[in-house]
Amino acid sequence: MRNIVSIGQIGRVESRILLIRGEKVIIDADLAEFYSVSTKRLNEQVKRNKARFPEDFVFHLSKDEKTAVIAACPHLEKLKRTRSLPHAFTEHGAIMAATVLNSDQAVEMSVFIVRAFVKLREAVADHSEIARKIEDLERKISNHDDQIVSLVKAIRQLISPKPVPKKRQIGFKPSDDK
């Protein structure tokens, strides 16, 4: 029964991971919900522990990014009413947030969050491998296409009737030069 809950949790977390600035991130409101704390408390802990959260762990969204996130994620519509720009936590930032919050719920959920990030990473790797294989197949097929075209031309030449050369007469033919 525990495995079924785990799969459901990973799926729920996975759906909240966004791609912003080329990074897979979780918005602070979602992370706070997973860790069962308020967004304000989460951000307070980040602010108190700045040394633990470098730019590659957490960053503020720009106004345009905030607008795009709200448009893409209906569950984050409450962010429209806030003046502050939300934080975006990378995988490492989400783990670090669990350590600074130091609650049982945060520690338990950090495991699911890490698994969700790993699952997405594997999916991207699988996608890259499939793309490479398709490219190899296309390359092979294009070579085969050239070979098939040359075969068709050769077959057409064999099938097409060649003009029959005029037969030479056997025997002596006097010249007309008299």
The domain that holds 118 is classified in CATH as 3.10.260
State the alpha helices, DSSP H only, in the chain.
Answer: 2-14, 28-34, 39-48, 63-72, 91-101, 104-159
State residue 86's pLDDT score. 92
Whether 23 is covered by a domain: the verdict is yes
Give the chain's domain count: 1
CB neighbours of residue 141 within 10 Å: 10
Whether 148 is covered by a domain: the verdict is no
Whether 93 is covered by a domain: the verdict is yes
Listed in sequence order, the residues at least 6 apart from 150 whose beta carbon sits closer than 8 Å to its beta carbon are none
State residue 177's pLDDT score. 65
State residue 58's pLDDT score. 93
Whether 151 is covered by a domain: the verdict is no
State residue 5's pLDDT score. 37
CA distances, 165 to each of 44, 132, 154, 162, 171 (Å): 98, 55, 22, 9, 18
Whether 137 is covered by a domain: the verdict is no
Whether 134 is covered by a domain: the verdict is no
Q: Which segments in the chain show pLDDT lower than 70?
A: 1-10, 164, 177-178
Alpha-carbon Rg of the chain, whole angstroms? Answer: 34
- The number of angstroms, rounded, from the C-alpha of 166 to the middle of its chain's C-alpha atoms is 70
State residue 88's pLDDT score. 92
State residue 9's pLDDT score. 56
Whole-model pTM?
0.61
Whether 24 is covered by a domain: the verdict is yes
State residue 98's pLDDT score. 86
Whether 139 is covered by a domain: the verdict is no
Q: How far is the C-alpha of 47 from the C-alpha of 84, rounded, in Å? A: 14
State residue 117's pLDDT score. 80
The answer to whether 85 touches 94, Cβ cutoff 8 Å, is no
Domain that holds residue 117: 2-127
Q: How far is the C-alpha of 168 from the C-alpha of 82, rounded, in Å? A: 102
